[in-house]
Amino acid sequence: KAGVTQTPRYLIKTRGQQVTLSCSPISGHRSVSWYQQTPGQGLQFLFEYFSETQRNKGNFPGRFSGRQFSNSRSEMNVSTLELGDSALYLCASSLDGFYNEQFFGPGTRLTVL
Amino acid sequence: QKEVEQDPGPLSVPEGAIVSLNCTYSNSAFQYFMWYRQYSRKGPELLMYTYSSGNKEDGRFTAQVDKSSKYISLFIRDSQPSDSATYLCAMSVGMNSGGYQKVTFGTGTKLQVIP
């Protein structure tokens, strides 16, 4: 069974630009969660999608948005990039959102210059 | 104050040593406790999970939860160089009304096991 895939793996952008990250969950998984990982803050929850609907949202500004498609693939968008947005962005998929069924992808390393 | 505190390390031990990794938390509503392992350039993988207080053993790994002290630990016996990774503790209050179990993570402890 293929794992969670994320594209691209690395990305370099400049301040003010926008970026779109993609996540393909494990086949059959309907829940996709997004996290931001930084050395100082650790993993912080961005949002979770289930069957194309956002079910939960973390404490991030509106510049961070996402969506989920009918095939459960998910995209995350960050507009008007700031230097502080440099981080590893991880997505995790699960069948229904249970913690012990959550599988992470390898992440997208975003660098904002 | 963060809900979950974890010593970032790095922690360096010789092969075969017993490793103790710890986290403290402030939210008394946490009921589910997890440990993730994250290798360099990889996403975290769930290592162990426990519900409520007590110990849980899985091979060389033992997870311990002390809810009265709001303290959890992961012990690794006979540590191996392949155990070198960052270990993240994580906690959850349970399933919310929206049908999702939000997990709060520690910042991770970097462990290096030296051959």
A17-42 pLDDT tens trace: 999 999 999 999 999 999 999 988 88
Task: Quickly count: other Cβ atoms within 10 Å of residue A70's Cβ.
Answer: 7
Helix, strand, coil % over all residues of chain B, rounded to 5: 5, 55, 45
Q: Do B41 and A4 touch (CB under 8 A)?
A: no
Q: Do A104 and B108 touch (CB under 8 A)?
A: no
- pLDDT at residue number B25: 96
Q: How confident is the model at residue A99 (pLDDT cuts 50, 70, 90)?
A: low
- pLDDT at residue number A88: 97
Q: Which residues of A touch B (CB under 8 A)?
A: 4, 31, 33, 35, 39-45, 48, 50, 55-56, 90, 92, 96-100, 102-107
Q: Do B105 and A42 touch (CB under 8 A)?
A: yes
Q: Do B103 and A4 touch (CB under 8 A)?
A: no
| pLDDT score of B99 more than 70 | no
Q: Provide the shortest C-alpha distance from residue A20 to chain B (in Å).
A: 19
Find the CB nearest A56 among B90, B98, B106.
Answer: B98
Nearest CA in chain A to B51: A100
Task: Quickly count: other Cβ atoms within 10 Å of residue B10's Cβ.
Answer: 11
Q: Do B99 and A90 touch (CB under 8 A)?
A: no
Residues A65-75 pLDDT 10s: 999 999 999 99
| pLDDT score of B98 more than 80 | no
Q: Do B88 and A43 touch (CB under 8 A)?
A: yes
| pLDDT score of A55 more than 90 | no
Find the CB nearest B45 among A48, A56, A104.
Answer: A104
Find the CB nearest A98 among B45, B90, B101.
Answer: B101
**Antiparallel, parallel or unpaired: β B104-105 and B45-51:** unpaired
- Contact predicate B102/B34, CB 8 Å: no
Chain A partners of B6 at a C-beta cutoff of 8 Å?
42
**Antiparallel, parallel or unpaired: β A74-78 and A19-24:** antiparallel
Residues B31-59 pLDDT 10s: 899 999 999 989 999 999 888 788 999 99
Question: How does the average pLDDT of chain B come out, rounded?
Answer: 91
Tell whether omega for the bond before A39 is within 30 degrees of 0, i.e. cis. Answer: no
Q: How confident is the model at residue B94 (pLDDT cuts 50, 70, 90)?
A: confident
